[in-house]
Amino acid sequence: MSADGVVLGPDGLARCPWGLEAEGMADYRAYHDTEWGRPVHGDDALFERISLEAFQSGLSWLTILRRREGFRAAFADFKIAAVAEFTEADEQRLLGDSRIIRNRAKISAVVANARVAAELAAGELDKLIWSHAPNAARRPAPRTFADVPATTPESTALARDLKKRGFRFVGPTTAYALMQACGLVNDHLADCHARGAG
């Protein structure tokens, strides 16, 4: 198919083109085939995704994927209760941690977001995020990536809802990337082998 549609991998499977980008093909392929677009539930798991999407802002996703284990180690496996207890000294320590992206504003946002999430009842973050999932039956499968939006009314509403509660680094584009990554929407192309796998 064209460069905008699915491409065949070395294993003969049709994938979304980004899942086979030359740089980092193995990393992208594994993420594409086993994670992206699959439903993610649980407050800590969703907090991790919110945090990683915030760090990705302005960078390639490959940069984040390759540092994910470092991020997990640095941020206490993204356990909301633990990160909410981080101090200014912890934030300073993280600025010197080469396993992560050392961006003061993003580090600070993750800690602040953990504090906001810690104030929510158990399961409330999961419920809040998933309440913005669009009706899948009304979303046709994209044929090419030109059919995939950067934002939607649902991602705009999710960003607004999160910001209203005090979350940072959660604009509509980041919220839509979160929705894609966590399976609230399925943006695998129509002919991609992973489309029906979730």
pLDDT averages per 10-residue partition of the chain, 198 residues: 73 86 78 94 98 91 93 98 98 96 96 98 98 90 91 97 96 96 95 83
Q: Which listed residue (31, 36, 48, 176) is catalytic?
A: 31
Catalytic residue among 28, 36, 61, 176: 61
> Is 53 labeled as catalytic in the residue annotation?
yes
Nearest to 168 by CA among 16, 6, 54: 54
- How confident is the model at residue 137, as a pLDDT? 81
Q: What pLDDT score was predicted for residue 145?
A: 86
Tell me what pLDDT residue 2 has: 47
Task: Tell me the pTM.
Answer: 0.93
Tell me the pLDDT tens digit for each residue of 14-29: 999 888 776 667 888 8
* Residues ≥6 apart with Cβ < 8 Å to 177: 53, 56
Exactly one of 28, 36, 53, 176 is catalytic; name it.
53
Question: Residue 106: is it exposed, middle or buried by C-beta count within 10 angstroms (0-12/13-18/19+)?
Answer: buried
Instruction: Report d(CA 155, CA 21) in Å as an integer.
Output: 26
